[in-house]
Structure 1
Amino acid sequence: MNLLLGRLYLDEGLQSKAEESYTTALRQNPYALEAAIALTKLAVAKDTPLDAIAGPSGGTKMVTRSGQSSVDASARRTEIDQFYIENPMTREADDDGLTQLNMAWMQTLVAAHMDAERGNHRKAVESLSVLDRVFPKNLHCLLHKAALEVDQKLLHQAHVTFKRARQVDDLNVTFMDRYADCLRKGNSCTNLNDLVQELFAISRTCPESWLAAAYYNDSKGDYETALQFCERAIEGRDCYAPAHLLRGEILLRMHRPQPALKAFWTSCRLTRSLEAYTGIITSYCDLHAAGVNRYKEAFAAAKSVVKLFPKKAQSFVLFGSVLALSSEHRSQARQALQKALAMEPRKLSTSFALADLLVEDGDLRGAIERLLALSERHPLEDVFIKLAYVYSMDKQFAEALKYFHQALRLNPRSTEALQGLNRLEKLMRGEDPDELSNSVEQIVAEDQEESMEASEYLSP
């Protein structure tokens, strides 16, 4: 009864009531792992500043739903952190068969979920690996471990772990949307197509099946069909954050930042994630490039990211990208990006943002040199595409052509590389490939006040 009450309270956004119900359920039965896992999410949510989850409308209501939330909140000690070690109820339960061994693995499971919620993915995977040795065919542990490996961009390892989960239960659809995303990111279109067929054979009503199909069509560059499948997934489960997230990503690729922004905010309210905030800020930046001044909203969102994910380099990449929108804040933008680079030297988005700053300053040669050095260390599709675009800006069309083809050799289905080639051909014919005006509205917000705020977030 208390587990059911907890779920109902969560659905209504009544987190305090939900916490009470789950705590009562756990005290009644320490084996109620659903309550323990729910309490890890609620514990991390309590560490989150309210202003960090306010959308453009300023509302702060947050409904916690199923799904991964990667929040880098402070590791405030909570009761659930040590429930199975210190709680007197668990010691009394020894007479009912709750052995020290059982308490150890249950506390390890709680620790894994707590670390996952706080964004400590490596520690979470280590805990799940310990559990995997105790329970080598446990579906829950395999699925969560694979999802965390995707978050760490360990795509091959995640693929292996997901395959193990499929062998344990080939009729399971839970987390199969994440498996589909893993295959999409790894450009494994054939495996992704096979997975979609298998999921539809299991169920044509589960949102996971439709989202997997959306991922497949997105990987083919069929954005309209991918959008339709996202809509089908959302119709099946309105609170399905990954479907809203993918919908926003596709709309951005279709150069529709305004509806993309709405989709990203919906995803963010359902499940706070760095990916959703990345989409939100990218949408604001695209609107700015189209002449729509949304700098204040973008700056507020960037501050929220730094509050929520202070240990993630991507937070400072996004913060620097927003500061770079204003010519008055270019130095602070560079400072934020350098901080991100120091936190995670191998992160491509940081180097891309620094190259963008050089382009904005008119230093195309400097941007090319930075990207060339990056391509030698990381000969990846995204790096070659970025380099090709900068070469085309510098009117070095032969070099641009060379790097677009290098990207296509790595991924013949690359929609961005194909679009870049089409744009390059227009440039070589003397045509203007840009439909939007290149003139951008100058931002004249309260520069001094924003500059002081920016410094606060950049301080060590």
Structure 2
Amino acid sequence: MFNLFVNLYVKVEAIIGKNDEAIMNFEKVRSIDPYIVTYMDEYAMLLKIKSDHSKLNKLVHDLLSIDPTRPEVFVALSVLCEGKDERGTLSNAEKSIRIDERHIPGYIMKAKKFYESALRLEPGYLGAALALAELHVIEGRNGDAVSLLERYLKDWADDSLHVKLAQVFAATNMLQEALSHYQAAQRINPQNEAAKKGLERLEKQMKGVDPDALEEEEENEVDDADGEQIETELL
């Protein structure tokens, strides 16, 4: 149970862009329990980002010997095939979904192949680029997401493009860059709600305040007020 908790913590590190720390902690978990499979597909994705092919190969070999029936194993295989065997990438992602249709990383790999194919057929398809960038962020590939989106800035004056870039920069604590893109989005479309809300969150971040903590406090205050109103009505 402890290892599962640590794995979940490491997964969060990857989501917020702390890839090196996440890799180091995944390795610690494996040293404690070499037979753990849960979230090891996430570890495989991080090794792919770092181009650590020897560790990725060993991880996949180990997972296959531990339990070849788990969806994480086929996602890891899909990651291993990525860039070398596109059919294998898609096939293994689909196998992971057949084993467990609730296993999200399998869908991520499958969706990536779909959007990459769409962009090969139509490189200027901004919708596919935005969707693929979101998948990169989910995988912890924030740098890849930024590189992809910035290629479209020259040809697209699009508020959603700037909002997505701002969100990625904000998630990696590059707050000035995030501010610049939120402001650009508002100049293009002053009615963009995502830009407005993003700026509100960003202002809190720039003051060193956790915006999510404030939202939770506000929700609790609303719940308390509702509870008091119900008690008054009962009296």
Paired position in structure 1 for 2:104: 241
CA distance in 2, matches of 1:141, 1:338: 31
Query: Partner letter of residue 174 of structure 1?
Result: T
- Separation in 1 of the partners of 2:46 and 2:114? 20
CA distance in 1 between counterparts of 2:41 and 2:112 reads 16
The AA in structure 2 aligned to 1:229 is N
Q: 1:174 is matched with which residue?
A: 38
Contact 1:176 1:208 in 2 (8 A): yes
Q: What aligned pairs does 1:385-400 form with structure 2 within 5 A after superposition?
A: none
Mapped partners of 2:40, 2:165: distance in 1: 37
**Deviation at 1:206?**
0.7
**1:458 equivalent in structure 2:** 195
Aligned equivalent of 2:25: 161
Which SS does the other structure have where 1:255 is aligned?
Answer: helix
Shift of 1:189: 1.1
Change (3 A) 1:286 1:224: farther
Q: Distance in 2 between matches of 1:152 and 1:173?
A: 22
1:232 Cα shift?
0.8
Paired residues for 1:434-445 under 5 Å: none
Q: Secondary structure, in 3 states, of the residue corresponding to 1:157? A: helix
Find the counterpart in structure 2 of residue 225 from structure 1. 88
Q: 1:198-277 to 2 correspondence within 5 Å?
A: 198-218=62-82, 220-255=83-118
CA distance in 1, matches of 2:99, 2:165: 43
Return the offset for 1:254. 2.6
Corresponding position of 2:126: 285
On the 8 A contact 1:285/1:325 being kept in 2, the answer is no
Are the aligned partners of 2:119 and 2:125 in contact in 1 as well (CA < 8 Å)? no
Q: Distance in 1 between matches of 2:72 and 2:173?
A: 35
Q: Give me the CA root mean square deviation.
A: 4.4
Q: How many residues align?
A: 173
Do 2:23 and 2:47's aligned partners in 1 also have CA atoms closer than 8 Å? yes
TM-score (normalised: structure 2): 0.57
Do structure 1's residue 190 and structure 2's residue 54 form an aligned pair? yes
Write the letter of the residue equivalent to 1:163.
E
1:141 paired residue number: 5
Larger Rg: 1
Deviates more, 1:158-167 or 1:191-200: 158-167
**How much does 1:183 deviate?**
0.8
Q: 1:458 to 1:326 in 2, by over 3 A?
A: farther
For residues 338 and 172 of structure 1, what CA distance do their matches in structure 2 show?
35
Letter in 2 for 1:255: A
Q: Which amino acid in the other structure matches residue 151 of structure 1?
A: I
Alpha-carbon distance in 2 for matches of 1:138, 1:334: 40
- 1:257·1:284 contact (CA, 8 Å) conserved in 2? no
SS state of the match for residue 204, structure 1?
coil
Q: Work out which structure has the larger RCO, using CA pairs closer than 8 Å and 6 or more positions apart in sequence.
A: 2
User: Structure 2 CA distance, aligned partners of 1:205 and 1:159?
Assistant: 24
Other structure's SS at 1:453 match: coil
The CA distance in 2 between the partners of 1:200 and 1:224, in whole Å, is 19
**Deviations along 1:94-127, whole A, 9 cap, x unmatched?**
xxxxxxxxxxxxxxxxxxxxxxxxxxxxxxxxxx
Residue 164 of structure 1: CA displacement?
1.5
The alignment-based identity, stated in percent, is 18
SS of equivalent residue, structure 1 residue 239: coil
Q: How does 1:13-412 map to 2 (within 5 A)?
A: 138-218=2-82, 220-255=83-118, 285-286=126-127, 330=157, 336=163, 343=170, 346=174
- Residues 174, 346 of structure 1: alpha-carbon distance in 2 compared, 3 angstrom cutoff: same
- Give per-residue Cα distances to partners, 1:203-238, cap 9 Å, x unaligned: 1111111110001111x4321111011111111011
Determine the C-alpha separation between the residues in 2 that align with 1:338 and 1:208.
30
Distance in 2 between residues matched to 1:235 and 1:338, nearest whole Å: 34
Q: Quote how far apart the aligned CAs of 1:178 are.
A: 1.0
Cα 1:161/1:341, change in 2 over 3 Å:
closer
Q: Which runs of 5+ in 2 are unaligned?
A: 135-141, 200-235
Q: What is the letter of the counterpart of residue 235 of structure 1?
A: R
